Amino acid sequence: MSERRKPNEEYVVIRHRPGYRLRRLLILIVFTVGAAVAGYTAGLAQGGFRSTSVAASNEQLESKIAALEASYREAQQRLVNLERGKLIDEQALNQARNIIVELETRAASLQSDLTFYKNIMAPSETSKGLQVDRLALANDREAGVYNFKLVLTQVGNNKSYIGGVVAVNVIGMRDEEKEVIALRDLSEEIDDLGVKFRFRYFQDVEGRLTLPDGFEPLEVQVVAQAQGRKSSQAERTFDWNELTEN
């Protein structure tokens, strides 16, 4: 018994096409592969651009590094030049200081000599005639050995010579006792107890003395005795420490 068709029902007729689905699948695969190939190609192109950009950046960095290295070498050379210039300046400054010291020493010596001659030629009223002007001691390289220089002057009337003898004694302590030693017993250059002198303006008595072991010097006593028409005496005592402190 046949079924009756309902009034509102519709039927769709589909045409049967063998192989249609297979063709659609093949087309989809072809498009997918094509898209993948295009994307890979585009990626290669972009990668090439990036490689070119990186290479350019590397060149710029290498150029900057080379410039920095050149600046560093130049700065190093400037530093070396400055250090050399500083060393030269220090040497020149030291030389200038040494010259100044020598000039000052020379000027002081000349001033001392000038004062010395002024005192001889234009003395004060209280310092005329025979004078024990100065005594200098300089320590030698050997212990207890000294170079000495005694200066006698005639102040005021220098028209004629003055002559006589001068005695020098070193006063000190040995074995807790006071002892007086004559210069002739300390110096090979002095033979007599009194050293003879004769001069118009001044005379130096120089030599070398050696202190005996265990002797501690304290003072040096100088007594000058003029003889003849200008008979007079001059005496002066020098402190040993003051003589040797320089």
Strand 162-174 relative to strand 129-139: parallel, antiparallel, unpaired?
unpaired
The pLDDT of residue 119: 66
Candidates 1.10.240.10, 2.60.40.10, 3.30.9.30, 2.60.40.1400; correct CATH number of 125-244? 2.60.40.1400
The length of the chain is 246
The pLDDT of residue 1: 45
Maximal CA-CA distance, the chain: 196
**152 phi and psi angles, rounded to 5 deg:** -110, 145
Chain segment 169-209, per-residue pLDDT in tens: 999 999 999 999 999 999 988 888 889 999 988 899 999 99
End-to-end CA gap in the chain: 158
Chain segment 49-70, per-residue pLDDT in tens: 455 666 667 777 788 888 888 8
**Cα→Cα distances 201→25, 107, 122, 236, Å:** 141, 22, 12, 19
The pLDDT of residue 197: 93
Which residues in the chain land under pLDDT 50?
1-3, 49
The pLDDT of residue 126: 52
